[in-house]
Amino acid sequence: MELIQQLVNGISLGSIYALIALGYTMVYGIVKLINFAHGDVFMVGSFVGFYSITVLDLSFIPALLISMIVCAIFGVLIERIAYKPLRNATRIAALITAIGVSLLIENGLIYIRGAQPEAYPNDVLPMDKLDILGVSISSQSILILSVSIILMIILQFVVHKTKIGKAMRAVSFDSEAATLMGINVNNTISATFAIGSALAGAAGVIFGIYYIKIEPLMGVLPGLKAFVAAVLGGIGIIPGAMVGGLLLGVIEALVSAAGYSLWRDGVAFIVLILILIFLPQGLFGKNKREKV
Amino acid sequence: MTTLKNSKGFWLSIVLALIFFSVMQFTISNGMLNPFYINTLMFIGINIMLATSLHLIIGITGQFSIGHAGFLAVGAYASAVMTMKLELPFIIALLAGGILAAVAGMVIGIPSLRLKGDYLAIATLGFGEIVRIVLLNIDYVGGASGMQVSHLTTWPWVFACVMITIIVIRNFTNSTHGRACISVREDETAADAMGINTTYYKVAAFVIGAFFAGVAGSLYAHNFYIIQPSNFGFLKSFDILIFVVLGGLGSLSGSVLAAILLTIVTTFLQDYPETRMIIYSLVLILMMIFRPQGLMGTREITTLFTGKKTKGGPKDGSHNTVA
């Protein structure tokens, strides 16, 4: 029973990783850039959610939506200001810029409001314990899981059934050919950043409700782990990010359950190095031959 | 003739460095320099070592590594164990720090052969974090509360290590092996096709870079009184990366200059860490947008005086081709 409880915890954590990983994987799929600032968009989303709940007195769903919208705008701004001038630069230049943007957001926020942590109020969601087959599961984790699943279904719908989704898939397949076909590549990239950042914002609010404590540097580690999740599932592949996130959450929960909770943060990186050595294309990826 | 001319410049710079050393040593031993400036001087030295060792990995060999603080941590802890637990002399601690970090460099270098660009960056970042977490979980070295280290780093030690680092890396770069490393940076496939053992040179760059980072770690540990795993997080790696990027990927003197400049900036902004990081991050972003080749590009400072074009410089038809 203990094990099942840990599994439930792991899946809740994993769904947060999955939401962040989706943003990574979509951006990587389309511009081949590891958006280091993505973890910080997640952090900003968490703070926006916090202020909309405490200052504006909103309930969970409106706070979630506000945070998603603010993050979407924020993500597009980052892309337009920092990444767009570097569209044709080397990938290392883009990567260094992304690191710079990440540091700027973190320290800018610390500069504005100080480094002290905040605590989410714990009455945002009802705290009932449900007994399912002898396992007590908090209603929070069920709600979190269902919100994440709904968001992922919406994402699947957007990517596969709408025009912008079709454009995204086309640009990520071959951006030059997409340009020739009359697709506005710049707008498509901005839309990708908007969707990815909105998901990160949602993850931020969910994280705050689940783990209570938020602070300006909270985005770094979940951001990196979400990237690991994206690589685990095969970077650029949307279902891969979901599965990778859930898997990573479960692995971490199992490591904690086995009594090695201090090693938890290291496990993600060990998984990363192992996956890069043995299965660099990820669980869902196809092996691509490199052409000269 | 050119060999003689080059070596003349080489000896000239060594003489200048020795003069600088003696002047500093004189002022320190006469108490003319207050401890704050002495400490800044030590930090400049340590940061120069870190910057040049990372320069060898990123700037010369083109392997984008952002886990350099991991090597620093390995060196710092190894040397601290040597002097504090085993009570061995400082010179052995320095060497042990370097050698253990070099072994760590080989461990991370070998899997990195399969990785390129972004993936390598993330893997090295992960490696740095793993080192930090492992140190956090070893009680022998104090876990999260860290380790007390006695103050053994003095100005002659720092100076000697910096000189050796710069000379070795400079000569390595100008040797056959260094040329091979540059060819790996420019085009790995082509280098392979020309019969260069790219695997060997990539690992070699990692091992040499890690060795000097480890020695720098030993100096760092014995300058700081206490070392904690939290000193060696990825923010430290980014600090070192900024030296190399600001100085120009591929320019040894550039990274030395950037290390000196940024250490001084850091010292004066010590009370405002956020401001410092905001300046750092803006420097990174604006640099990449407006001058991606860094302050010096791939040029060296000596070319500013002689006006001689070096091969592989920005005017050599291969514009900032690093990575």
Q: Does A277 touch chain B (CB under 8 A)?
A: yes
> Could you say which of A95, A107, A263 has the minimum Cβ distance to residue B118?
A95
What mean pLDDT is reported for chain A? Answer: 85
CA distance A79 to B142: 43
Q: Does A124 touch chain B (CB under 8 A)?
A: no
Per the domain annotation, does A214 fall within a domain? yes
Low-confidence ranges of chain B (pLDDT < 70): 1-6, 301-323
Per the domain annotation, does A26 fall within a domain? yes
Average pLDDT over residues A39-47: 92
Q: Is the pLDDT score of A142 beyond 90? A: no
What pLDDT does B226 receive? Answer: 84
Query: Each residue of A53-101: pLDDT tens digit?
Result: 888 888 888 888 999 999 999 999 999 988 888 887 777 788 888 888 9
Tell me how close the Cα of B63 comes to any Cα of chain A, in angstroms.
10
Q: Is the pLDDT score of A15 beyond 70? A: yes
Average pLDDT over residues A204-215: 87
Work out the pLDDT band at A35, boundaries 50, 70, 90.
Answer: confident
* Residue corresponding to tokens 């400082």: B90
Contact: A111, B238; criterion CB under 8 Å: no
How far from A268 is each of A229, A236, B125, B141, CA to CA, in Å? 8, 19, 12, 24
Per the domain annotation, does A69 fall within a domain? yes
What pLDDT does B305 receive? Answer: 63
The token duo for B4 is 């003689």
Tell me how close the Cα of A122 comes to any Cα of chain B, in angstroms.
30
What pLDDT does B93 receive? Answer: 86
Q: Is residue B201 helix, strand or coil?
A: helix
Contact: A107, B278; criterion CB under 8 Å: yes
> Residue B318 region, left (φ>0) first, then alpha (ψ -120 to 50), else beta?
beta
> Could you say which of A97, A262, A263 has the minimum Cβ distance to residue B288?
A97
> Could you say which of B115, B134, B280 has the minimum Cβ distance to residue A276?
B115
Q: Higher confidence at residue B18 or residue A134?
A: B18
Q: Which domain holds residue A48?
A: 16-219
The token duo for B232 is 């060696």
The token duo for B56 is 């060898």
Per the domain annotation, does A277 fall within a domain? no
Q: How big is chain B by its Cα radius of gyration, in Å?
A: 19
Average pLDDT over residues A98-118: 88
Contact: A94, B288; criterion CB under 8 Å: yes
Locate the DSSP E strands across B201-293.
226-227
Tell me how close the Cα of A140 comes to any Cα of chain B, in angstroms.
30
Work out the pLDDT band at A134, boundaries 50, 70, 90.
Answer: low
What pLDDT does A113 receive? Answer: 85
Q: Which residues contact A42 (CB under 8 A, 6 or more apart)?
A: A20, A200, A201, A203, A204, A207, A219, A222, A223, A226
Of A23-27, A41-45, A205-209, B9-13, the poorest mean pLDDT is in B9-13
Per the domain annotation, does A264 fall within a domain? no
Per the domain annotation, does A100 fall within a domain? yes
What pLDDT does B1 receive? Answer: 45
Per the domain annotation, does A193 fall within a domain? yes
Q: Is residue A181 helix, strand or coil?
A: coil
Q: Does A217 touch chain B (CB under 8 A)?
A: no
Contact: A90, B323; criterion CB under 8 Å: yes
The token duo for A158 is 């957007």
Contact: A34, B118; criterion CB under 8 Å: yes
What pLDDT does B304 receive? Answer: 64
Of A184-193, A195-204, A279-288, B217-226, the poorest mean pLDDT is in A279-288
Tell me how close the Cα of A81 comes to any Cα of chain B, in angstroms.
10
What residues of chain B lie within 8 A of the CB of A115, using their CB? 274
Per the domain annotation, does A256 fall within a domain? no
Q: Does A130 touch chain B (CB under 8 A)?
A: no
Which residue in chain A has the smallest CA separation from B286? A97
Number of domains in chain A: 1
Q: Does A88 touch chain B (CB under 8 A)?
A: no
- Distance from the Cα of residue A15 to its chain's centroid: 9
CA distance A190 to A84: 10
Which residue in chain B has the smallest CA separation from A97? B285
The token duo for A169 is 């898939």
Residue A36 · residue A101 · CB < 8 Å: yes
Whether this prediction's pTM lies above 0.90 is answered by no
* Residue corresponding to tokens 């405490």: A54
